[in-house]
Amino acid sequence: MGVRLSDAEFEALVAEVLDALPEDIARYLDNVDVVVARWPTPEQRREAGIADDELLLGLYEGVPLTERGVHYGLVLPDKITIFQGPLERISRNRAELREHIRRTVLHELAHHFGISDERLRELGAY
């Protein structure tokens, strides 16, 4: 199993997913950087609580909108990292990879909006 794209092809798929976001969601992403990395670092894996035998597909690092107060400002952008290697590993073809990217981006955006992994499970989005 697994599909392999060039970095540019993978980044283009991530851009397609972001471009397809509804305006009602996209307007809240003005201080969010979405980046692609080949694999998560050991620190990112620890931060996410990911075991050695688990894959980390994406990671949100920042302050969720629901936790920002009136004094929130002059901060670095939140960051969503999409991990190319793990996503390619679980995908059999380009169409499946694009769907995994879409689901991962939406999952990480949910964290930006203050939705926890537990709540995503309850909603059946996990």
pTM for the model stands at 0.89
pLDDT digits (tens, 9 = 90+) for 59-76: 999 888 787 777 777 778
Sequence spans of domains, the chain: 7-66+74-122
CB 110 within 8 A of CB 120: yes
Helix (H) or strand (E) holding 9: helix 7-19
Q: Is the pLDDT of residue 117 over 80?
A: no
The class level of CATH for 7-66+74-122 reads alpha beta
